[in-house]
Each structure stands twice: as C-alpha cells, then as structure tokens.
Structure 1
Amino acid sequence: MAQFVLAGKTDCPHYAKAELLADSLQRCLPNFKIHKISVLPKAWKEWLEDTCKRNGWKHEQSPVIWRELVNQGGKGMLLGGFSDFLEHCQDYYSITSDMPSDVMLSVASENLATKMNLFVEEQHRVSSIKPLHIWFSSALSPTSHFLIPNLLSAEVFPNTSAISLHLLDLEGKEEQLQWLRMETENMALPLLYQVTTHTDLEHAFKEADVILLQDECWSDDSNTEDEEERKKKKLKRISDRYREYGQLIDTRANKEVKVIVSGDSFVNLRCSLLLDNARSIGSNQFVTVATQLENEARAIIAKKLKVRTSDVTHVIVWGNISDSFYIDLQRAKVFNYDGPIKGPAFFSLPAKNILQERKWLETDFQELVRCQRAAVASKSCRVAAMSLTNGILAVIKAWNGICGPDEIFSLGVLCPGDYNLPEGIVLSVPVTFTDRKWSVLSDVTLEDDLKERLQIAARELKQEKELGSENNEM
C-alpha cells in the first residue's frame, strides 16, 4: 500500500494543487492513501524546521511530501515538494495535474479560510473550559506516584470537568519532571486537561484552586554539625521557603483556594507560616493532614483486637503532628469485635471499653504509633507514601462533600479560641465537615492531662516559630 503524507501552508497554491491531485489518486487507486496536514502560515516555518530536524531531512518550501514505510507516524522517506510529487505521480501512476493558476489561488484561499474557522472554533472551545488548577510541590517525591492517579478522578473531585495539574519541584531536575509529566499524560485520565512542570517559583500557585505542599526535607550541608545546629539550619530553610510560599499564594492563588500541608517534619509550623503570609485568604482554607496518623493508630488497635483496620473508627490525633502528638480514643468505636457482646454489622463498642489496659494505651500504644511510619521507611527505604496518600485523599474528599456528617478527621488548623491556646499556633484537633466546610468538634472532653499535653505542644510549636524567625533575621 502506498501511504503518503502531504503537509503545507494553508494559503499555499502548490499545496492546494498537490492536495487535489492526491484526492484524485485516492479515488482512483484503492491502495493509495493520503494523510493531510494543514498548517497556518505563521506556524509553518517552526513546524517545518521541527519536522525536518526530527526526521533528518532538508526541505525549505511548502508543501513537503513524504511516503510512510509503515503505519502513519512511522519512519518516512522524503519525496520532496510539489514538483517532486507531480513527477512521482506521472512516473508511477501516469496521472498529472493541469490546474490553472487562478483555480490554485482560489483553493488556497478556501483552505486558509477553513483552517482559520477551525482555529477560531478550537480557541473558543478551549476558552470555554474552566479547569480546576491543582498545584503539587515536591512533585518527584514517592507520594506523587501514588497520589496523582487517584487524585485526577471524579470520585475525588465531583462536578469537575477538567483538571490542570501543575508539578513543582525546586530540588528536582527538569528532565525528571518531564518524564513524570509524560507518565501522567500517558494514563489518559478523563479529567486531565494539561500538565505543566516547574523547577522555580516564577509561575508558582498561579490561579490555584487546590495546593498540596509536601516539601520538607533538604539535605544537610555538613555531617560534622551537632543535632541542634542542623535543626536550626533546617528551620531557617523551612521558614524562608514557606514565608515565600505564603506570599505567593496570597497574590496568585484563587481566594477560595484549599491548601493542604502534609509530611513528617514541622508540618504544623509550615502551615502556620503560610497563614502568617497569606493574609487575604481565610485561615479556614489551610489545613495540615494528620489522617495518616489516625490510620496508623487504627491499624495497631485492629491488630491487637483481631479486627480489620476499617472496623476501628473515630480515632483523634491531638497536638503537634510531627512531634508531641497524642492519640485519643475517647470517641473511638470498634465494629465486628469477637467479644462476649455481639450484634449486627452496624453494632459497635467503645474502644476504651475493650482496651482496658490503661498503661498500654498511655505508653506503649503512643510509642507504637510514633514508630510505625519510621519502621515502614526503614524497611522500604522510602516514606510511608501509600498511607500518606490515603490520608490526603480522605481529607480532599471530605472537603469536597464526600463524607458522612458523623465522620471525624484530625486536622492541623489554626487553634480555636475555646481551647485556651496561644494565638497563631496550628495544632491537630478533631473536625467534621458539613457543606464543604470544616468545623472543630465541640462535644469532646478535655481532661486536665490532655489540656497539659496541648499546652506543651503549643509551647513547642511557638518555640519553633520563634527560632525560625530569629534565624530569618540573621
């Protein structure tokens, strides 16, 4: 089968003549196939240069014609321009073209008008699409590979027709980001509108509707420094980075943006720095994810009670997610427990009534939760990306209205006044979602021991913030 590709400027008379000759051959010869590429005049030069460079050809005029030796898109053999095509048709098929010049010009004019109409229609179609803009920092982290395929779905973002994903990684290489972009595009996800990559902050958070911030780890410059010195340097880098993030979010993001901070270190501090520097955006639009800690605690309890992890609900994480947090079971329930009292599938028992080992709950259990993620990281040589992804997705779904009215989530948020905590501190507290807005759970018991724990966490976070401010002024 003879398969040709004919490309040219839409206003080129010779392209018009070659096009009609090719149409004639295709009608007469069952094994002759033609594929046409019509390019607007202003884009022709760049298109031709790219095509010739990609195929190793030399050609400077319109049209350009080549023969494909395999299916369309495969390696091609350059035939040349209009004269070369005309000569080929005469030699192989004994068919020529005697189109007058005025007809050639008329057809070229029609081609240009048709192409311009199609271009205008496409521009209108594109302008009518209003994609949801999601910005993703530390895009090359292991979490991204789990999060991206699940994030771009109608299950997470209902009533969304298109999503523009913006991959930001200030420590990453452009080549690696391009591979991630290609891999994302190759999934052919229905909601994906476009993917952009960024290794600097020139366009960061522009038009952002959702921002997922997970960058937290920067390599130490020296192994000779003591732990305190390394912590100070890390706090300075974090403070500088997140102050700048906050300022950019304040000026570039949509005012209804949802900002989610996640990770293992200084997550409460990072969220607090954003709040301090994004003054024009409501404080209720910034949260820090503690749901992965909830799930890790649920898994430990489930293993001890020999039930599924999903059978344990309403676990609460209080305090500093990255350090002095406390796992509270005052609202926790256990379903399908094989105990002396049993009931139907909807029947549950308070976790504290089953776990009566108070010493274990206050010591060993708390330490097990702390060590759980570190154990996963040490065995798999990477962060607990899957559990973190699951926690982030759960929060986004709830924020988008996909959760029950009784579901409890632990989120780091700006401290509510009724807990008698210092202002400007972000602590993990239990919240519920209603009408796509979160509110702090009010009917919880704060015993003296828990109040003291929260005060300790608040002081700890205040010291981190002050240390970061001191380093910033150095």
Structure 2
Amino acid sequence: MAKFVIAGKSDCPHYAKAELLADQLQQCLPNFTVHKITVLPDQWKEWLEDTCKRNCWKHDESPLVWRELVYQGGKGMLLGGLSDFLEHCQDYYKVTSDMLTDMMLSVAAENHETKMSLIAEEQHRVSLIKPLHIWISSALSQTCHLLIPNLLSAEMFPHVSAVCLHLLDLEGDREELQELKMQTEDLALPLLHQVKIHTDLEEAFKGAEIILLLGESDVDDAESEKFKEMSDRYREYGQLIETWANKEVKVIVSGDSFVNLRCSLLLEKACSIDSSQFVAVATQLENKARSVIAEKLKVKSKDVTDVLVWGNISGSFYIDLQRAKVFNHAGAIRGPAFFSQPVLKILQERKWVETDLQDLVRRHRTAVASKTCRAAAMGDANGILSILKALNGNCRADEVFSLGVLCPGFYGLPEGIVLSVPVTFRDGKWSMLFDVTVGDELKKKLQIFASELTQEKDLGAEKKDN
C-alpha cells in the first residue's frame, strides 16, 4: 500500500495542485491513500523546521511531500516538493496534472478559507469549555511525574469536567517538557483538556486556580547563592500570582527546603489574595511520625492517627502526640475495628516520645533532603494530594492535618510567620484547631520555631538588599 503525506501552507497554490493530484490518484488506485496537513502561513516555517529536524530532512518550501513506510515502520521517505511529487506520479503511475494557474489560485484560496473556518470552529468549541487551570512548578521533577496521573482524576476533582495543566520549569529543557506533555496526553486521562509548557515567567500563573510549587531540592544552605536566587524567585512568584492568578487561587508549597519561608515570601507580594489560600505541606513529617510510632506499637501506619506537627517544616519542628490515637493495638484492651486508644496512654515512655521519636523523624527528613530519590518524591506527591483532597472538601470533618499557614498573632507568635499547626477542614477551608493544649513548654518551642523562621526571612531580605 502507498500512503503519501502532503503538507503545505493553506494559501499555497502548489500545495493545492499537489493535493488535487493526490485526490485523483486515490480515486483511481485502490491501494493509494493520502493524508493532508494544512498549516497556516505564519506557522509554516516553524512547523517545517520542526518536522525536518525530527526526520533529518532538508526542505525549504511548500508543499512538503513524503511517503509513509506502512509495512516497514520507521520514519517516512522524503519525496520533496511539488515538482518531485509530479515526477514520482508520472514515473510510477503515468499520471500528471495540467491544472491551470487560475485554478491553482482558486483552490488555494478555498483551502485557506476552509482552514480559517475550522480554526474558528475549534476556538468556539474551546471557548464553551471552562477548564480548571492548574500550574505546577519544577515540572520535570520526579514529584510532578508521580502527581500527574492521580491529580487528573475524578476522585480528586469530583465537580470539575476539564483541567488545563500548565507545566512550568525555569531551568528545564524545553524538549524534555515537550516529552512530558506528550506522555501526559498519552495517558488519556478523562479530565485532561489541554497541556501547556512554560520555560519562562512571561505568562506564569495566568488564570491559575490551583498552583503547586514543588521542592527546591538544590537549596540547602541559607548562606548560599542558591538561597538568594530562591528568595528572589519566590517574591517574583508572589507578584505574578498577585497580577495574573484567579483571586480564589489555592497555592500549595511543598518540598524539603525552606518550605515555610517560600510560602511566606509569596504572601509578601500577593497582598490582595486571602492569606488562607496559601499553605505549606507538612504531611510528609506527619506520615513519617505515624510510621515510627506504628513500628513501635506493632501496628500498621494507617492505624495511627491525629499526629500533630508544630514548627518549621524544613527546620526545627515538634511531633505532638496529645491527640494521637491508635487502632487495632494488640494490648490488654481489645475492641472492634472502630475502637481506638490514646497513643500516650499505651506508650508511656516519655523519653522516647520527647527525644527518640523527634530524632528519628528529624534524621529521616535530613536523609531525604540530602539526596534526590523516588521515595522522597512519592512522599511529597502523597502529601500534596492529601491536602488537595481536603481543599476540595474530600475529607472527614474531624480529620486533623498539620499544615504550614500564616499565624497572625496566634499563641503570641509574631506577624508574617508561616508555621506548621494542626488544622481541620470544613467545606474546603481550613481552620486552626484550638481543641489542643498549648502549655508553657510548647509555647517556648513555638517561639523558638518562630525565631528561626524570622531569621530565615530576614536573611532572605538582607540578600535581596545586597
């Protein structure tokens, strides 16, 4: 079977002549098929360069004709332009074209009009769809790769019919982003409407309704040049969110480096957006603490709930078990599956709770931050998805989360500090959990955490001034 592809500018008379000759052959020859690609004149040069580069061809005019090797696989065989196609048809099929110039121009004009009409129809169809615009930074990270399949699910967004996904990576290669775009499209996810890639901040966060700012894994020292770059970048992000994003945007900051600080830098610039819409993910610490406690009590991680994380998510923090419960514990008292007991009642080792538990979680966090690994990305992605579900109203009213949020004056904390505190969600909005005991010892810890965060913020401001 002979399958030919003819591509050309929509207003090109030579393309018109080639396609009509191909139509004639297709009608006469049962094994001859043709596929036409019509490109707008202002897009032709870029399209031609990309196609030739991909196939290692050399061609610089309209039309471009090649033959697909249907039964052999691999790339097509380039024929060339109109004259090459006419010669091929004459030699192989003893058919040529005697189309007059006036006819060629008329068909070319009709082609162009048809193309513009199809574009207008598509634009109208797209205008009727109101997709949810989600932006992801550091889109080439492992976390993003793990996020995408779960992010674009009906479970995550039960009341959304379409999602436009924006992949942003300022330091990434455009070809890699293009490959990620194609891979995402190939998943055929039901909510996916469109994928757009971005390698600069020209239109960053335009129309954004959800923004996921993933980890800055290469920033691990507040004295480094990378720290200054990160601080400047997040202030710029904040300004762009203020300028371009939807005023109801939900912003989630995650990762292992300066998570609280990055969130607070956004808030400095995004002044007209409600600060409650900016949160930092502490779920990875919460889950690690649950895992450590579960191992100690010989239960599964899911059997430990309501562990609280206070403080600086990527700095000094405190694991608080005052509300923690354990299910399915094989102790002296047993009950049905819904029966739980306070962890502190069973785990009466104060030294282990106040020292060993804190150290084990801290060492794990340090180990994860010190290297790039799939396990860290999995934890990060899982934490983001958990918070997104809660923001979308998909969680229990009594479910407790540890979340980095702006704490204006709570517990005597200074203004402008983003601190991890226990929260609950109701109708997609978080509220601080005040049904906890904040004694003198915990208050002292909170002041230490706040002082650390203030120093980070001041250091970022000093580097900016320098």
- How far, CA to CA, are the matches of 2:158 and 2:167 in structure 1? 22
Instruction: Show CA shifts across 1:388-444 (max 9, x none).
Output: 221111001111111111111111111154523222222111111111111111222
1:387 is matched by which residue type in structure 2?
G
Matched-pair contact (CA < 8 Å) for 1:401–1:433? yes
Pick from 234, 240, 248 the counterpart of residue 240 of structure 2.
248
Distance change (3 Å), C-alpha of 1:80 and 1:262: closer
Instruction: Show CA shifts across 1:113-162 (max 9, x none).
Output: 33332121112223333333333333343323322333233322333333
Matched-pair contact (CA < 8 Å) for 1:264–1:322? yes
Tell me the CA shift for residue 44 of structure 1.
Answer: 4.5
User: What SS does structure 1 have at the residue aligned with 2:36?
Assistant: strand
Root-mean-square deviation (CA), in Å?
Answer: 3.2
Pick from 287, 298, 301 the counterpart of residue 306 of structure 1.
298
Counterpart mapping for 1:375-454 below 5 A: 375-376=367-368, 384-454=376-446
Say which one has the larger Rg. Answer: 1
Instruction: Show CA shifts across 1:291-342 (max 9, x none).
Output: 1111001001111111111111111111222233111112211111112222
- How far, CA to CA, are the matches of 2:75 and 2:449 in structure 1? 64
- How far, CA to CA, are the matches of 1:50 and 1:286 in structure 2? 40
- How far, CA to CA, are the matches of 2:151 and 2:78 in structure 1? 44
User: What SS does structure 1 have at the residue aligned with 2:113?
Assistant: helix
The aligned counterpart of 1:276 is 268
| 427-436 or 186-195, larger mean C-alpha shift | 186-195
2:238 is matched by which residue type in structure 1?
G
Runs of 5+ unmatched residues, structure 1: 221-226
Distance change (3 Å), C-alpha of 1:384 and 1:7: closer
Tell me the CA shift for residue 30 of structure 1.
Answer: 2.2
The aligned counterpart of 1:32 is 32
User: What SS does structure 2 have at the residue aligned with 1:363?
Assistant: helix
Residue 121 in structure 1 maps to residue 88 in structure 2:
no
1:261 is matched by which residue type in structure 2?
V
Distance change (3 Å), C-alpha of 1:115 and 1:144: closer
- How far, CA to CA, are the matches of 1:356 and 1:72 in structure 2? 72
The aligned counterpart of 1:346 is 338
- How far, CA to CA, are the matches of 2:396 and 2:371 in structure 1? 35
The aligned counterpart of 1:473 is 465
Pick from 353, 356, 360 the counterpart of residue 364 of structure 1.
356
The aligned counterpart of 1:195 is 196
Matched-pair contact (CA < 8 Å) for 1:421–1:458? yes
- How far, CA to CA, are the matches of 1:58 and 1:233 in structure 2? 45
- How far, CA to CA, are the matches of 2:226 and 2:21 in structure 1? 69
Counterpart mapping for 1:182-261 below 5 A: 182-192=182-192, 193-198=194-199, 200-218=200-218, 231=223, 236-261=228-253
Instruction: Show CA shifts across 1:331-388 (max 9, x none).
Output: 2111111122222222211212211222221121121111123345668767722112
- How far, CA to CA, are the matches of 2:446 and 2:386 in structure 1? 25
Tell me the CA shift for residue 21 of structure 1.
Answer: 4.2
- How far, CA to CA, are the matches of 2:142 and 2:373 in structure 1? 11
1:118 is matched by which residue type in structure 2?
L
Matched-pair contact (CA < 8 Å) for 1:246–1:277? yes
- How far, CA to CA, are the matches of 1:310 and 1:98 in structure 2? 77
Matched-pair contact (CA < 8 Å) for 1:422–1:458? yes
User: What SS does structure 2 have at the residue aligned with 1:156?
Assistant: coil
Matched-pair contact (CA < 8 Å) for 1:373–1:383? no
The aligned counterpart of 2:447 is 455
Distance change (3 Å), C-alpha of 1:157 and 1:237: same
Matched-pair contact (CA < 8 Å) for 1:373–1:384? no
Instruction: State percent identity of aligned pairs.
Output: 71
- How far, CA to CA, are the matches of 2:261 and 2:49 in structure 1? 51
Counterpart mapping for 1:54-65 below 5 A: 55=55, 62-65=62-65
- How far, CA to CA, are the matches of 1:213 and 1:179 in structure 2? 21
- How far, CA to CA, are the matches of 2:180 and 2:65 in structure 1? 34
Q: TM-score, normalised by structure 1?
A: 0.85
Residue-pair matches, total: 465
Distance change (3 Å), C-alpha of 1:84 and 1:389: closer
Residue 163 in structure 1 maps to residue 155 in structure 2:
no
- How far, CA to CA, are the matches of 2:229 and 2:53 in structure 1? 44
Counterpart mapping for 1:165-180 below 5 A: 165-174=165-174, 176-180=176-180
- How far, CA to CA, are the matches of 1:469 and 1:161 in structure 2? 42
User: What SS does structure 1 have at the residue aligned with 2:323?
Assistant: coil
- How far, CA to CA, are the matches of 1:371 and 1:247 in structure 2? 35
Matched-pair contact (CA < 8 Å) for 1:178–1:197? no
Runs of 5+ unmatched residues, structure 2: none
2:125 is matched by which residue type in structure 1?
R
User: What SS does structure 1 have at the residue aligned with 2:358?
Assistant: helix
The aligned counterpart of 1:224 is none
